[in-house]
Chains A and B, each alone.
Chain A
Amino acid sequence: MKHLPYESWILDETPLNEDQQRDLDAHLLTCPVCCNLRDSWQAVRQQIESAPQKQPSPGFSMRWKASLKDRREADEVRQRRLVWIWIASIAAAVLLSLAVIYLPRVSFIQVLISIVESLVGFTSGVSALVKLVTGVLHTVPPYMLVLSSIALSTLLSITIFLWGISIWRMSRKGVTHYEEN
């Protein structure tokens, strides 16, 4: 026996015109498969529609509010971790591409030699700088040295003071923010 389009009429829940309804009713009288399908679907639908809305246990919104701080912190940690993963990935990619570009051209010994050469160059540069500074200090008159050290220490103190104030203001702002919460 053909069940189309009756199955669709039963399951799609589309409004039927008079002819279709009459046709379906006649079919249902003779077809136990479609009759079963209709009864089963109507029973399920009735069960679904009679099931009440499930309520959360009391204090749901308070629990949500209480978890907010932890969720924010976890989110910040996750974001920070993500940033570090990005930085590490970029660094690894750069190193890998440099290695791919340069390693086939130079031998390992050459790499070692250039590292040692760079270190030697760096230390000789530092010692030349030290010599230059001590030479300048010997030629400058003593009162200039005193004046410049006073100016330098004043500048340093002002910088430290301003830095301290901004740290204090930032920490105060944070405390007020959490108090408001």
Chain B
Amino acid sequence: MAEREWLQLAINGDEEAFTQLVETYQTPVYNLCFRMLGNENSAEDAAQETFWRAYRNLKRYDSQRPFITWLLSIAAHYCIDQQRKKRLPLFEMDEFPDFDVADPEIPNPEQEYKQGEEDSALHSLVNKLNPQDRAAVILKYWYDCSEEEIGQMLSLTISAVKSRLHRSRRQLAELAGSNDLVSTSVRRRHETPAL
């Protein structure tokens, strides 16, 4: 069944149809929340809340816009609010690496660990941006959104999006330079698997 039909059924109150939409869009919504908030528990809560808000306001959805754009816009606004509310930095247990016995179902633990390390380095960089700038960067580079789309999603003018992106790129480049990300990223590309 096409997305439009699921949507129409969901708008008419069909819970199963909306669950189908949750199934379809869970990854992009969760990924946005994870990139914005930086830990799995908060991302899960934020993604669940995004779908609940979408479900509750489904009648207000403008069918001229792609459904995923609407969902991402709800998720971005929710995460920005969460970030603004969070004044005190909290340490989450998930942020510390686990040293449990290796799971045999994971094909390459070393690769998983490396990926986790890179993710955490990337998150600590992106985390330095203010929430709205961070949302703009995430939508631009992870979701390939145009400046117009980002503007619609974050309720900003196109010139505001452009200036936010410019400021964010500069900040990220400066932070990366000071964190030695450039040499690390070059080294990672050339290092041997044993190292």
Alpha-carbon gap, A75 to B176, bound state (A): 44
- A113 → chain B, closest Cβ, in Å? 54
Tell me if A68 is interfacial: C-beta within 8 Å of chain B.
Answer: yes
* Nearest CB of chain B from residue A48's CB, rounded to whole Å: 4
Q: A48-B141, A64-B51 are in contact. Are A54 and B35 (CB under 8 A)?
A: yes
Q: Which residue of B lies closest to A37 (CB)?
A: B173
B122 x A68 contact (CB < 8 A): no
CA distance A89 to B137 in the complex (A): 44
Contacts of A49 in B (CB 8 A): 141
The answer to whether A56 touches B177, judged by C-beta atoms less than 8 angstroms apart, is: no
Q: Does A131 contact B (CB under 8 A)?
A: no
Q: Judge whether B27 and A55 touch: CB under 8 Å.
A: yes
Asked if A47 contacts B118 (CB within 8 A), the reply is yes
Chain B residue at minimal CB-CB distance from A49: B141
- Determine the residue in chain B with the shortest Cβ distance to A47: B122
Set of chain A residues within 8 Å of B55, measured between Cβ atoms: 68
Q: A44 and B125 in contact (CB under 8 A), knowing A52-B115, A53-B31, A61-B23? A: yes
Q: Are A11 and B173 in contact (CB under 8 A)?
A: yes
| Interfacial residues of chain B within 25-76, with CB under 8 A of chain A in the complex | 26-28, 30-31, 34-35, 40, 43-44, 47-48, 51-52, 55-56
> A107 on the interface (CB 8 Å rule)?
no
What's the tally of chain B residues with a CB closer than 8 Å to chain A? 43
Q: How far is the CB of A112 from chain B (nearest CB, A)?
A: 50
User: Within 8 Å CB of A46, what residues of B?
Assistant: 185
How many interface contacts (CB-CB < 8 Å) are there between A and B? 103
**8 Å CB interface, B110-162 against A:** 115, 118-119, 121-122, 125-126, 137, 141-142, 162
B169 within 8 A of A: yes
- Cβ–Cβ contact B182 & A43, under 8 A: yes
Residue in B34, B115, B181, B186 whose beta carbon sits within 8 Å of that of A44 in the complex: B181
Interface contact A40-B26, CB-CB below 8 Å: no
Which residue of B has the minimal Cβ distance to A71?
B52
Q: Which secondary structure dominates where chain A touches chain B?
A: helix
In the complex, per-residue mask of A53-73: 1 if CB is within 8 Å of any chain B CB, else 0: 111110011011101100100
Please determine whether A54 and B31 come into contact, CB atoms closer than 8 angstroms.
Answer: yes
Q: B22 at interface (Cβ–Cβ under 8 A)?
A: yes
Pair B172/A41 contact, Cβ less than 8 Å: yes
CA A65 to CA B173, docked complex, whole Å:
42
* Min distance, Cβ B71 to any Cβ of chain A, angstroms: 13
B166 CB-CB contact with A under 8 Å: yes
Tell me which residues from 156 to 194 in chain B have a Cβ below 8 Å from any Cβ of chain A: 162, 166, 169-170, 172-174, 176-177, 181-182, 185-186
Asked, given contacts A41-B172, A44-B173, whether A12 binds B125 with beta carbons under 8 Å apart, the answer is: no
Instruction: Verify A64–B19 contact, CB threshold 8 A.
Output: yes
Chain B residues near A12 (CB-CB < 8 A): 162, 166
- 10 contacts across the A-B interface (CB closer than 8 A): A37-B173, A39-B182, A43-B182, A47-B122, A47-B181, A48-B122, A51-B118, A53-B31, A53-B142, A64-B19
With A44-B176, A67-B48 given, can you name 20 additional A-B contacts, CB distance below 8 Å? A11-B166, A11-B173, A12-B166, A40-B173, A41-B169, A41-B176, A44-B173, A45-B141, A47-B122, A48-B122, A54-B31, A54-B43, A55-B30, A56-B44, A56-B47, A60-B48, A64-B19, A64-B22, A65-B15, A181-B15
A residues lining the B interface (CB < 8 Å) = 7-8, 11-13, 36-37, 39-41, 43-49, 51-57, 60-61, 63-65, 67-68, 71, 75, 181
